[in-house]
Amino acid sequence: MRIALIVGFLLLVALLAVGLTRDPREVPSPLVGKPAPAFELPRLGEGARFSPAEMRGKVWLLNVWASWCVSCREEHPVLIDFSRTKRAPLVGLNYKDQRGDALKWLARYGDPYQLSVVDGDGRIGIDYGVYGVPETYVIDRAGIIRYKQIGPVTPEVMDKKILPLIGNLER
Amino acid sequence: MKRLVLAVAALLICSGVAAREAPPLAADQQVEARLMAIAEELRCLVCQNESLAASRADLAMDLKREVRELIRGGKSDAEIRDFLVQRYGDFVLYRPPLKESTLLLWVGPFMLLVAGFAGVAIFVRRRRGAQSAALSAEDEARADTLLQKRTDA
């Protein structure tokens, strides 16, 4: 009897303990495994409008960022390192930002992006299910979203998840 | 006294200014009513314990703008909910549909309740059994004499 009670109690503790280790802010995206939503947006810098269709046949990364976003600064060195390796194209989606602020931010912290597009009113962000900047998508050759990182890309996420995934998708 | 007069005068001046009805927040109140009805059932993703209707977060305002446009575009409530579920998953619904991935969410609390009742039932039954077994014939006789004494006294 006493043992049954203790076992029951421990089970409940285990259940709650597992619950505590999980991050409620991390909402599994229904977009993983689905085609990346199409868009056509002006670039932040010079050049023609950009559409994800241009990346067909390449594994690439789409990173949602903004100059007002504090945790973007946290992941920025990781993205800079990634861009130096030229492992895969990295496209920035400048989300609900001011053009001048965004350009200043890139000039100050470095520009890891092959190009950045401007989503001024956040409409494309909604199509991609963005709810907490920064977010990063890994998109395969066929234009299917394979992974979504919510929140900053840490060196660990880059090494253990994103880089191996790029390797797998390019095979 | 001087101060009081001044305060009253100030109040009188202000009252003329304040006496105007607040303008309606949105031009189309029908759209707004439907928006609120839908948004009441949706979760704000930034402040997760708030409904989309109640939230003033940036993303919530954007999503409400989007829903407003869908309403104007003649979409049904179900279509609008689908639009958001496709992007943000079942998590945006305060009443997620019953399916494999949400089964534990729906059934879990009832399972805990049943387990609790079972526990209490077992506990009570055991205690009752233990009590009746504790009295031997000898004890019973002693209890009887003790009770007898009390009624005699």
Prediction pTM value: 0.74
pLDDT value of position A64? 96
Segment B66-122, tens digit of pLDDT: 999 999 988 899 999 999 999 988 888 888 888 887 888 889 899 989 988 998 998
Q: Could you report the predicted ipTM of this complex, rounded to two decimals? A: 0.78
Chain B CB within 8 Å of residue A9 CB: no
Please give, rounded to a whole number of angstroms, the shortest distance from the CA of B22 to a CA of chain A.
28
Coil/strand/helix, residue A53: helix
Interface test with A, best of B42, B44, B62, B87 (most A CBs within 10 A): B87
pLDDT value of position B55? 85
Q: Where are the domains of chain A?
A: 31-170
Position B19 in a domain: no
Interface test with B, best of A25, A27, A133 (most B CBs within 10 A): A27
Most confident of the following: A152-161, B6-15, B24-33, B100-109: A152-161
pLDDT of residue B16 exceeding 60, the answer is no
Position B10 in a domain: no
Q: Which domain holds residue B35?
A: 25-97
- Cβ distance B66 to A123 less than 8 Å, yes or no, reads yes
* Residues B32 and B89 both lie in one domain: yes
Q: How many CB pairs under 8 A join A and B?
A: 48
* Residues B30 and B82 both lie in one domain: yes
Number of domains in chain B: 2
Q: What is the rounded average pLDDT of the residues B6-10?
A: 70
Within chain A, strands assigned E span 60-65, 90-95, 115-119, 135-139, 145-150
Last residue of a domain, one of B71, B97, B123: B97
Q: What is the rounded average pLDDT of the residues A20-45?
A: 85
pLDDT value of position B10? 66
In chain A, % of residues over pLDDT 70: 99
Position B114 in a domain: yes
Which band of pLDDT confidence, cut at 50, 70 and 90, is reported for residue A80? Answer: very high
Q: Residue B113 is encoded by which pair of tokens? A: 């309740």
Q: Residue B64 is encoded by which pair of tokens? A: 């409400």
pLDDT value of position A88? 94
pLDDT of residue A76 exceeding 60, the answer is yes
pLDDT of residue A86 exceeding 80, the answer is yes
Q: Residue A98 is encoded by which pair of tokens? A: 């001011």
Residues of A in contact with B90 (CB under 8 A): 30
pLDDT value of position A153? 94
CA distance B34 to B37: 5
The closest of A49, A29, A31 to A41, measured between CA atoms, is: A49
Please give, rounded to a whole number of angstroms, the shortest distance from the CA of A84 to a CA of chain B.
32
Residues of A in contact with B63 (CB under 8 A): 126
Position B133 in a domain: yes
Position B17 in a domain: no
Residues facing A64 on adjacent strands: A93, A135
CA distance B73 to B132: 74
* Residues B75 and B34 both lie in one domain: yes
Segment A104-140, tens digit of pLDDT: 999 999 999 999 999 998 999 999 999 888 999 999 9
Q: What is the CATH number of the domain that holds B54?
A: 1.10.8.640
Mean residue pLDDT of chain A comes to 91
pLDDT value of position B102? 82
pLDDT of residue B23 exceeding 60, the answer is no
Look-up of token digits 């504790």: B134
* Residues B73 and B105 both lie in one domain: no
Please give, rounded to a whole number of angstroms, the shortest distance from the CA of B108 to a CA of chain A.
12
Last residue of a domain, one of B59, B78, B97: B97
Asked if residues A149 and A161 have their Cβ atoms less than 8 Å apart, the reply is yes
pLDDT value of position B22? 58
Asked if residues A72 and A95 have their Cβ atoms less than 8 Å apart, the reply is no
Asked if residues B81 and B123 have their Cβ atoms less than 8 Å apart, the reply is no
Contact map slice: A 55-94 vs B, CB within 8 A: none
The closest of A129, A131, A137, A72 to A106, measured between CA atoms, is: A72
Q: CATH homologous superfamily of domain A31-170?
A: Glutaredoxin (3.40.30.10)
Position B1 in a domain: no
Q: Residue A169 is encoded by which pair of tokens? A: 């998708």
* Residues B34 and B93 both lie in one domain: yes
Please give, rounded to a whole number of angstroms, the shortest distance from the CA of B23 to a CA of chain A.
26
Chain B CB within 8 Å of residue A10 CB: no
Q: What is the rounded average pLDDT of the residues A61-69?
A: 95
- Cβ distance B88 to A25 less than 8 Å, yes or no, reads no
Chain B CB within 8 Å of residue A8 CB: yes
